[in-house]
Amino acid sequence: MHISSSRSAWPRRAARALAAACLTVTAATSPIHADAEQTIGWTRQTVTAPPGAPRGYVEYQNSCTVCHGPMPERPGTRALAAKYKGSLPAMLEQRTDLQPDFIRMTVRNGISLMPPFRKTEISDEQLDAIVAYLTRPRS
């Protein structure tokens, strides 16, 4: 009898543990309030725009530089350096050939090692700012 009662208790304990884990994940991924500052979860610090920074600077720094920042530790920059072998800049901020539709498609769908980003991770407004930053006129 003791063995069968412990066996029947196991599914209940497992179900409780699973429910607790789901609640923890739900709480950790709950929507951010409108007045809270939004950053990608792996962003190391919140960035403020320096005087004269172009539109999208902050959004790019907060959402993209963790992978596409200065080398060598940034995986996106490292992958683009290996792909282009010097024919194009590996740093996205230095590129002048990026097209708005390509940027949007790549961010929303991912490409190669880059994952897709949902609108809950990078809003359409934030993506528009990133596109404006990466396609801004340069002198």
**pLDDT in the model for residue 45:** 62
Residues 105-110, mean pLDDT to the nearest whole number: 98
Report the half-sphere exposure of 46 (CA within 13 A, side-chain side).
Answer: 5
């396609």: which residue's tokens? 135
Residue 24's pLDDT band (boundaries 50, 70, 90)? very low
CB 61 within 8 A of CB 134: no
Distance CA 70, CA 76 (A): 10
Q: Decide which of 43 and 68 is more confident.
A: 68
Residue 68's pLDDT band (boundaries 50, 70, 90)? very high
3-state secondary structure of 93: helix
Residues 112-127, mean pLDDT to the nearest whole number: 95
